[in-house]
Structure 1
Amino acid sequence: MHYPENKSAEDLFHKIEESFESKLPFVVYRKPQENKLTAVFQQTDHLHFVKDFTERGFVFAPFVSKDDLVLIQPDSVLEIEAAFENKLESSSISPKLDDEEAHVQLVEKGIQEIQKGNLKKVVLSRKIEVEVSKDPTTIFKSLLGKYSNAFCYLFHHPKVGTWCGATPETLVKLKQNELFTVSLAATLPFQENVEPKWGSKEVEEQQMVSDYINGQLTPFMDQLDISKAKSVRAGNLWHLQSEVKGTLSSNVVLKEVISALHPTPAVCGIPTKEAQKFILENENYQRSYYTGFLGEINLKASKEVSLYVNLRCMEFKDSIASIFVGGGITGASNPKLEWEETQNKSKTMLNIL
């Protein structure tokens, strides 16, 4: 993967390699539609946690948030301008088929729970393990070149693990009291010069998410506006998305707002508590930091937060990369089609490997 031969980029990636070798925590990332790379380095391997979001640094939070919202302290922060070219070749890795029966059965169980009236929607996922020869830094550079519209990151903490991803979904952005987030749901494969044709299942799924966000945020807001849904592209997939904007009430505690939004219906379901309980009891693996969230908290200014949902991501352990894929299940879902959707989503990360 080519990247610009400028001294700043060389220095930054050299410091990343040094952090890997020294087993020190760091995160490097690029926000959507930007050319600026930001790297946050911590000088010790101490495990810091976010308690109330008054801390400063970079947060890495799991799907089930308790006391383990990891914080990378900004002992050193580097920022560089660097454009990364898309020179990605087609993948020779194909999605595995051997998990099909298990995933179809999981989806069928989810549909039964919806039909009983216990859930309106549940997001069910699976993990794919692939042997890789590329190192995480090389894979991160590939993500930068391929996914300019995503939040691309490489995270490492010796006591937590190494993760990399290109997520299309904002959890929440806050600047002083101005809030921005998105209502994102539904998936169709991208085809050149073909507009996506959404069915009632996808439209209903996205509207559920908008209604939920509206209900969760309204108690904290002086003003809240949710736009009409539109098609947005993320890599080789289409999604339906509405923009959510508003002004927080002056006495609101930031931690309460984030707790109200995470986990979102787009990664969990509706009602969220019941859906999360079903996921934890029925998915045959632990999501860990997949479908958690990550991003800056008070890094450049106080009361300034930029958080993203941890989707389209992978975890590295030695030569194995674990990829995570899932989809929203409603009463109108077809288990076989849901399996095919996870296959399409898996190609996003498999193409990088």
Structure 2
Amino acid sequence: MIGRVGDCLKEGLPFCIYRKPNQSQITAVFQLEDALHSVVDFSEKGFVFAPFQFENGAVLLKPDEIFVTQMENSEHSPFGEIQLSEIGRNDHLELIKKGIEEINTGRLSKVVLSRKLEAETKLSPPEIFTQLLQHYPNAFCYLFHHPKIGTWCGATPETLMTIQNREIKTMSLAATLPFVEGEVPQWKEKELEEQQMVSDYIRERLTGLMESLDIEEAKSVRAGNLWHLKSRINGKMLPKTSVNKIVSLLHPTPAVCGIPTQKAKEFILKHENYRRTYYTGFLGELNLNQATETSLYVNLRCMELKGQTASIYVGGGITKASDPEREWVETQNKSKTILHIL
């Protein structure tokens, strides 16, 4: 299967190869021509790859061929220490200060601010994907390619939603601390508040569309070399509720954009010094196995690959309690997820 992926990269044919969290099954979806298809209303069948600015359109890979194989987790050596660059530090600190100033005016409660960094690698895209599989078994790991979009790869810890027969599962994921062997994460007010904001937002957005909705208490979960706070969310959709409606209400979530969503998005587009494109978008299966089954993941801990250069994207949630220096360190810690692999 990896050999077929390499051939598609050479021939310029679209595909996505991926593994869901905590599973051994690897799935590859191949489109046999290079046309750029779009999702219209989420009734389509295939693999979806959507940008942060959803209004720009979501890409749909047609499932002309689907291959499945099994991969058992193999032993891998722990990561060594890496030297992190301070390039972009001052610009990012200024961006965070602008975000805090905007929050203090009362126009925003939270805004997620990010940056892009670049690193060189000698590894091929399939080799990077294989490394992600081995090191991040709890993540949705993927390698996506379309000649008219580019090549993206990542290991995201966040589920946007899974839906099967009107049963929906999602999560409220926010807050970050570095993983230290033998230590339990000690969450401060800022992190607890940030995660609660996301839970409250999802409850507000979904309640009117559900027969039932249950949000569990937040728990610490590990994602590679990081800790996050996560609440599992389960519900049953009303018969009239469509996947399209749910997606439009949840994306972008406060975990990748902010509160209120539209004002936070406007701030991001105005003040971030680059365009996110597919970072903090979403991707996953759309009616691929059966007509009422969808599995979508938020595109975090990801990179865009161009030749030997990887563009890596990292960010963090800013609230009134944020400290710019700590927020910079958080993005540095998040960058290790990809830099260790490269």
Deviations 1:125-170 (A, max 9, x none): 0000111111111000000000000000000000000000000000
1:45 alignment partner, one of 31, 34, 41: 34
Compute the displacement of 1:84 (Å).
Answer: 3.8
Compute the displacement of 1:252 (Å).
Answer: 1.0
Amino acid corresponding to residue 285 of structure 2 in structure 1: E
Compute the displacement of 1:207 (Å).
Answer: 0.4
Q: Distance in 1 between matches of 2:38 and 2:280?
A: 18
Amino acid corresponding to residue 188 of structure 1 in structure 2: L
Deviations 1:222-261 (A, max 9, x none): 1000000000000000000001001000011210111100
Aligned length: 342
2:140 alignment partner, one of 127, 144, 151: 151
1:130 alignment partner, one of 119, 123, 138: 119
CA RMSD of aligned residues (A): 1.0
Amino acid corresponding to residue 159 of structure 1 in structure 2: K
Decide whether aligned partners of structure 1 residues 69 and 96 sit closer, same or farther in structure 2, where only a CA change above 3 A counts. Answer: same
2:39 corresponds to 1:82: no
Structure-2-length-normalised TM-score: 0.98
**1:203 aligned residue:** 192
**2:60 aligned residue:** 71
**2:336 aligned residue:** 347
Question: What SS does structure 2 have at the residue aligned with 1:66?
Answer: helix
**2:46 aligned residue:** 57
Q: Distance in 2 between matches of 1:251 and 1:291?
A: 28
Compute the displacement of 1:93 (Å).
Answer: 4.8
Gaps (5+ residues) in structure 2?
none
Amino acid corresponding to residue 196 of structure 1 in structure 2: P
**1:6 aligned residue:** none
Q: Distance in 1 between matches of 2:11 and 2:73?
A: 27
2:270 alignment partner, one of 281, 291, 294: 281
2:297 corresponds to 1:308: yes
Deviations 1:284-322 (A, max 9, x none): 000010000000000000021000000000000111100
**1:318 aligned residue:** 307
Matches within 5 A, 1:1-353: 12-88=1-77, 90=79, 93-353=82-342
Deviations 1:23-78 (A, max 9, x none): 10000000000000000000000000001000001000000002420011100000
Compute the displacement of 1:85 (Å).
Answer: 2.1
Are the counterparts in 2 of residues 91 and 352 from structure 1 also a CA contact under 8 Å? no
Question: What SS does structure 2 have at the residue aligned with 1:275?
Answer: helix
Are the counterparts in 2 of residues 137 and 154 from structure 1 also a CA contact under 8 Å? yes
Q: Distance in 2 between matches of 1:294 and 1:220?
A: 23
Q: Which moves more between the two structures, 83-92 or 38-47?
A: 83-92
Identity of aligned residues (%): 56
Compute the displacement of 1:86 (Å).
Answer: 4.3
Q: Distance in 2 between matches of 1:349 and 1:13?
A: 20
Gaps (5+ residues) in structure 1?
1-11
Q: Which 4+ stretches in 1 moved above 4 angstroms?
A: none
Decide whether aligned partners of structure 1 residues 62 and 91 sit closer, same or farther in structure 2, where only a CA change above 3 A counts. Answer: farther
Q: Distance in 2 between matches of 1:111 and 1:89?
A: 37
Deviations 1:158-211 (A, max 9, x none): 000000000000000000100000000000000111111111111111000000
Q: Distance in 1 between matches of 2:20 and 2:68?
A: 12
Question: What SS does structure 1 have at the residue aligned with 2:162?
Answer: strand
Decide whether aligned partners of structure 1 residues 133 and 334 sit closer, same or farther in structure 2, where only a CA change above 3 A counts. Answer: same
Are the counterparts in 2 of residues 43 and 75 from structure 1 also a CA contact under 8 Å? yes
Compute the displacement of 1:13 (Å).
Answer: 1.0
Q: Which moves more between the two structures, 208-217 or 81-90?
A: 81-90
Compute the displacement of 1:88 (Å).
Answer: 4.6
Amino acid corresponding to residue 308 of structure 2 in structure 1: S
